[in-house]
Amino acid sequence: MLMRALQFSSHFITKIHQPFYATPSSSCIPTSLKSFSPRMSSSSSRHSSLAPIAPLEAILFDIDGTLCDSDPIHYYAFREMLQEIGFNGGEPITEEFYAKNISGMHNEELCYVLFPDWDIKKARKFMDDKEAMFRRLAPEKLKPVNGLDQLCKWITDHGIRRAAVTNAPRPNAELMISLLGLGDFFELLVIGAECERAKPFPDPYLKGLEGLGVSSEHTFVFEDSTSGIKAGVAAGMPVVALSTRNPEHLLSEAGATIIIEDFADKKLWTQLEDIVKKTEPAKPTT
């Protein structure tokens, strides 16, 4: 059952993020949840450049959906636990409902969106239990996004500073970083809930810049969600968006500078090569 539930990656649809701490509303929960056939957009026609940020000082990474494709695990945990408590009349939530109403949102916000009539302590306990279920499932199911090892080597070889910046709870973030073998790679981990405001506000990324002691003018961000893209842009940095789950037009509308399929995408490596060329001193002519 678990294997089948997690094998829906090619059928996942758009993440649509609501404003952080949106006003609770029962309209967020439909009376009928129907199946769907998602359609993802094709390759991006956007041709912006990262070259202006040279020399590159640092790269800031989101975790969920950026370093690893974790949404299938989150969906399974929410589906099982919500059905167990009789949410939506006991009918399992669909992937569509998850994508529109849950994915990418901060847990504190989800307490009000999913359980507007619950005591907040009870809602928070549910979210804590769901995250514990995610952590039980992650060791078997979590996989890195294609090309991550190659990118990490390039970053290390070029002496680029790096931090992970996420809305995930700290135990989740630390587990994912460990499972991906990146415990010694990141210099800093910034948790949205530990900032004054989480993404889509810029606070987590501003804290990342401050912690590394680098400038936004020489740093860029890797993100996969519209919420995260808006946070990076608001912090004054260009954002490279991964189309792990989202259609490219939404990523572009959120402010992404470049959109890539994964870390092996030739568009990314062309940009990195351009940054290196712009950083290197010009060779004297003879």
- Active-site residue set: 62, 64
Is residue 20 a contact partner of residue 200, using CB atoms and an 8 Å limit? Answer: yes
Q: For residues 147, 148, 152 and 158, what is the CA-based torsion angle, rounded to 10 degrees?
A: 40
Q: How many residues does the chain have?
A: 286
> What's the N-to-C CA distance of the chain in angstroms?
69
Tokens of 24: 């609770």
CA–CA gap between residue 100 and residue 129 (Å, rounded): 22
Q: For residues 107, 111, 113 and 118, what is the CA-based torsion angle, rounded to 10 degrees?
A: 170
Is residue 221 a contact partner of residue 205, using CB atoms and an 8 Å limit? Answer: yes
CA–CA gap between residue 22 and residue 199 (Å, rounded): 13
3-state SS of 13-39?
CCCCCCCCCCCCCHHHCCCCCCCCCCC
CA–CA gap between residue 178 and residue 168 (Å, rounded): 14
Q: How many CB atoms lie within 10 A of CB 211?
A: 16
Tokens of 22: 């949106």
